[in-house]
């Protein structure tokens, strides 16, 4: 019995040590202080977590920040917090339900009509569904929210982003994109047994593939002042952990 407890203790210590090494390697804090006065930034999913902190940082550096969120009550509270904390009153909230392509089109249309420029688009919002659900258009909900919605939003806003160059498109992915289980013939889990982790992982791979292809096509067209990147936020202490 003591021997078993000893091995368990060794395993726990090893896990903690390795986790610490990984955390130190992939974690970090943005220390950039470049001013963004005159720039307009859209952050999806800005009512909590990484999106909320990113929106705060952009506002702190003088940008006009658009909080694109599903829950407007939470978004308004975040807006009030950002304005009171930074003194930047140029922060606005607009409704965006990324799983609903009609909502995405409405948001994009109104944004183009209202805004003169879009300098930075941060496709951050995401969901992790415990059970298989379908979106309004009949897509698997995680895929619709994490990929299709952002894909459509980016394409609809691409002209104004290009006209605002130098500009950036940032797609928030995850290290989960590296894991196997991607099935192009069954993205909506109609045949496969649904798994929430597998569904999430494939959306993060879609984010990366879309980023790479969009960057390639822009370069091919000679558009060099629009930077398209994907990223993993690393180990982040947020509401999901």
pLDDT at 154: 98
> What pLDDT digit, counting tens, does each position of 143-174 carry?
899 999 999 999 999 999 999 999 999 999 76
The stretch 50-54 carries a mean pLDDT of 92
β-strand partners of 124: none
β-strand partners of 134: 140
Q: What is the set of active-site residues?
A: 200
The stretch 48-53 carries a mean pLDDT of 91
**Whether residue 241 has pLDDT greater than 50:** no
Tokens of 227: 């930077």
Percent of the chain surpassing pLDDT 90? 56
Burial of 68 by CB count in 10 Å (0-12 exposed, 13-18 middle, 19+ buried)?
buried
Percent of the chain surpassing pLDDT 70? 80
pLDDT band at 22 (very low <50, low <70, confident <90, very high): low
Side-chain half-sphere of 87: how many Cα atoms within 13 Å? Answer: 2
Which of the pair, 224 or 127, is modelled with greater confidence? 224
Lowest pLDDT segment from 11-20, 63-72, 185-194, 223-232? 185-194
Nearest to 179 by CA among 196, 197, 158, 157: 197
Tell me the C-alpha distance between 88 and 52, whole Å.
15
Give the contacts of 5 (CB within 8 A, at least 6 positions apart). Answer: none
CATH number of 35-231: 3.40.50.720
Question: Is the Cα torsion angle 173, 177, 178, 179 positive or negative in sign?
Answer: positive
């Amino acid at each position: 019995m003591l021997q078993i407890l000893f091995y368990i203790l060794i395993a726990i210590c090893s896990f903690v040590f390795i986790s610490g090494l990984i955390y130190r390697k992939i974690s970090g804090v943005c220390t950039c202080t470049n001013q963004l006065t005159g720039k307009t930034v859209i952050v999806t999913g800005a009512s909590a977590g990484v999106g909320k902190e990113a929106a705060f940082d952009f506002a702190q550096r003088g940008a006009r920040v658009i909080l694109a969120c599903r829950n407007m009550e939470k978004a308004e509270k975040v807006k009030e917090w950002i304005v009171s904390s930074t003194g930047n009153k140029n922060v606005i909230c607009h409704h965006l339900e990324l799983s609903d392509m009609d909502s995405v089109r409405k948001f994009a249309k109104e944004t183009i009509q209202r805004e003169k420029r879009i300098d930075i688009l941060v496709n951050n919002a995401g969901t992790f569904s415990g059970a298989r659900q379908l979106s309004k258009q009949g897509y698997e909900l995680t895929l619709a929210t994490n990929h299709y919605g952002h894909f459509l939003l980016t394409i609809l806003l691409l002209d104004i982003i290009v006209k605002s160059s130098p500009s950036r498109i940032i797609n928030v992915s995850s290290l989960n994109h590296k894991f196997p289980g991607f099935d192009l013939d069954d993205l909506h889990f109609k045949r496969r047994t649904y798994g929430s982790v597998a569904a999430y992982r494939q959306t993060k791979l879609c984010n990366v593939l879309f980023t790479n292809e969009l960057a390639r096509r822009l370069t091919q067209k000679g558009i060099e002042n629009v930077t398209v990147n994907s990223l993993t936020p690393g180990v982040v202490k947020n509401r999901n952990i």
